[in-house]
Amino acid sequence: MADTSESDIKEVFIVKRCTKMDSEDYVSIQLKSSEDSIEELLKKAMSASTINSHNQIIRTMGVQ
């Protein structure tokens, strides 16, 4: 493995945040690489940081 200096290492840090009236969800991703380009790191970070939406309604049925 070759030695890499600090200037050879690329870093991407993103935070996605979703705020609703009653909740707040967030995902933070930090990626570092000396081999991947910034574009590749951004693609990987964006695909890893999906937030599930609360738009799905969960319905339960019961009998009393």
Q: Give the model's pLDDT for residue 18.
A: 82
Q: Give the model's pLDDT for residue 1.
A: 47
Q: List all residues 6 or more positions away from 4 whose beta carbon is below 8 Å from its beta carbon.
A: 34
pLDDT at 29 exceeding the cut of 50: yes
Band (55; pLDDT cuts 50, 70, 90):
low
Alpha carbon distance 54, 5 (integer Å)? 43
Q: Domains of the chain: which residue ranges?
A: 6-48
Band (35; pLDDT cuts 50, 70, 90):
very high
User: Residue 58: CA atoms inside 13 Å, Cβ hemisphere, count?
Assistant: 2
Q: pTM for this structure?
A: 0.55
Mean pLDDT of the chain: 77
